[in-house]
Chain A
Amino acid sequence: MKSLAVFSRGLSLKNKSYKAQSGGFVSSPGPFGVMVGKEIADHIRSWRFIVLLLLVGLTFFGAMYISLSNIKTAISNIQDPDRLFLYLKLLTTTDGTLPPFHVLLSFLGPLLGISLGFDTINSEQNAGTLTRLMAQPVYRDNFILSKFVSAIIIVSCLFVSLALLMIGAGLVITGVSIEPQEVLRIFSFIFLSIVYVGFWLSLSILLSIRFRQTATSALTAIGIWLFLTVFYKLVVNLVMKALIPDPAFLDPQQVFAYNELISSVLRLEPSQLYSDAITTLLMPSVRSLGPLTMEQMALAIPSPLPFKESVMIVWPQVSGLLAATVFCFAFSYYLFMRREIRC
């Protein structure tokens, strides 16, 4: 007669007065907050995150080790106008055994974004939890937004703590105090990296909505990444070579114009945008991302630019990255809102 007892228990539930159903004084987080919290908890508990953490951590400490052991030569190089920016040097110095941290990050960023996003929607759909979730009083957009936001929060925490670690370690080891300009540059570098990861994240979320199988979406995302990093440059060069006449017959003005065109086409690729932008931010003496004419260079003193000027140079890159991210996200939004939810 266990079931009878079971029934009577069940029946008492409705009558039980649960206070403060309509709010009360304790404000509980809305559905969106609840979802973000759950997603973050899921990420942190997953093996995938631990692996990624180890990977990023290892890269960071390896790069730091190499730059710290070479920092002395970098700082004492009189030819380099940036030599006084110790903390920027920490991020960019290398002796050739390992690429500097910012270059490594342009490889790791896509990996982070893809691996945090490739199965967001389709795994829920395959497990049958999507229907259950959508039957709750929750807006659909909150669902994908929570997926995006939670991964971005995780990535931001990771990057910000790495940056702070780097600054702290530099302070302890060298004892040189940090310039406000360096803080700004490092944090805008972090911000850009987060946006870059955000682009890959939103792309992989888009693919996870589009494809039913997690393996397909992961593979497609990796395929796009490989194409953009390896083949895109190749294809652009090939096409341009076929289209552009022999530079020997062109006057310098035209060569200049064609070069501009090529680099503009290359900048359609997000990783190009990213590396352009962070190079400018981390090396204050970079004053242009394209070729400069002799007239423009005349009378210029090879000295670092102020922070504001560097930001002005990378502004198109930043807005391009943001636009790509927003575009992917908007498109996934569109696909998901119209989608029929069924298993």
Chain B
Amino acid sequence: MEKPIIELRGLTKCYGSLKAVDDLDLTINKGEIFGLLGPNGAGKTTTILMMLGLTEPTAGTATVCGYNATTNPIAVKRKVGYMPDSVGFYDSMTALENLAYIGRLNGIPEAEVKDRAFEMMKAIGLGDAVDKKTSAFSRGMKQRLGLADVLIKQPDVIILDEPTLGIDPSGVKEFLALIHQLSRQQGLTVLLSSHHLHQVQQVCDRVGIFVGGKMLVEGSVDKLSRNLFTNENYVVSITLKDPLPPQWEAEGALQRMQDVQQIAVDGNMVQIACLRDITPELVRFFVHNGLDVTGVHKKEYGLDDIYEKYFENNSAKSNTHEKPGRIFQRSFVKK
């Protein structure tokens, strides 16, 4: 394996007494799509700024493409395309001029900068908005133009800070598909930060969950869920037509069924934790007992749950006495 393209060692950033990023170690290899996940204020943007040399770390080093980002930011910026979360353009200029300006700043020769910007606009699907002023652009169009902006310098690494913020769902899908495609075809390394888990799940090879300045876990989505829920069982929730009475005679029988571990009743919802997947048996059981089943849902753990679990653990630690209700709700299913 060649050298990692992004390497963070013990990266720390303090604002006064607040530790925004706390002793972060992270390695990203070439061609990977890495998702940096975390709630707002977790220090994602600060980390990214340190990778680009826009902020000085309090301690630790950030090495990008073999250059130290703090001492040699220009070399890093030549290789890295960065799209900030609220990307802005010069409103008095057209989209093409905006793009060409960035191209010129990156040393693209004058003779070809217009052509290249034009082609980039077409590639990104804004071919017919080339001569529009960017002030007339919608949020999604701006985001696309931001991507064109990042790509025009032909970077090795692209860093996207909340790239899906404020785009409609179909736009997000297209946008992420585009990023994925570009990464695969051109061997680009992509680092994207987000708090939208489902979206990130679709495209990332690896994700890191980042809460309170610390990287809690990192790895592929599969690996994370396996690690996290090894002692967790299958949970099947069955929705019935009518609410169950507090005492129902079949409960004992259900309890005695093989592999059933725990039963929780909430109105007309029954949640059953079991050691293996016994959904058909459970449905059969309910039907035999004369209960009308209207919905069956087998719970699978996605990134959302992983995230929620981590995030919740964290918030439980920090403000135990503030949000007791939430914790009780969860433990109700889990125990």
Contacts and interface: CB of A to CB of B under 8 A. Distances in A.
A326 to B, nearest CB: 26
A14 B109 CA distance: 16
Interface string B81-94: 11011111111100
A24 B109 CA distance: 9
Contact of B49 (A3, A19, A342): A342
Contacts of B153: 136
A285 interface: no
A141 B82 CA distance: 20
Given A128-B86, A128-B88, A340-B55, A18 B182 contact: no
A341 to B, nearest CB: 4
Most buried by A among B104, B120, B146: B104
B84 A20 contact: no
Contacts of A131: 54, 82, 84, 88
A253 interface: no
Interface stretch (B122-130, B241-249, B250-258, B314-322): B122-130
Contacts of B154: 13-14
Contacts of A138: 74, 77, 105
A232 B234 CA distance: 80
Q: Is the interface of B mostly helix, strand, loop or mixed?
A: helix
B185 interface: yes
A127 interface: yes
A78 interface: no
Interface residues of A, number: 42
B54 A2 contact: no
Most buried by A among B75, B88, B110: B88
Interface residues of B, number: 51
A132 B109 contact: no
Contacts of A129: 88-90
B181 interface: yes
A104 to B, nearest CB: 30
Interface in A55-79: none
A42 interface: yes
Given A3-B177, A14-B186, A135-B84, A28 B101 contact: no
A91 to B, nearest CB: 36
A215 interface: no
A343 interface: yes
A292 interface: no
A343 B123 contact: no
Interface stretch (A4-12, A110-118, A164-172, A301-309): A4-12
Contact of B101 (A19, A34, A135): A34
B174 interface: yes
A107 interface: no
Interface in A34-52: 34-35, 38, 42, 45-46
A134 B69 CA distance: 13
Contacts of A34: 101, 104-105
B30 interface: no
A300 interface: no
Given A24-B109, A31-B105, A128-B86, 4 more contacts: A3-B174, A127-B89, A135-B80, A136-B102
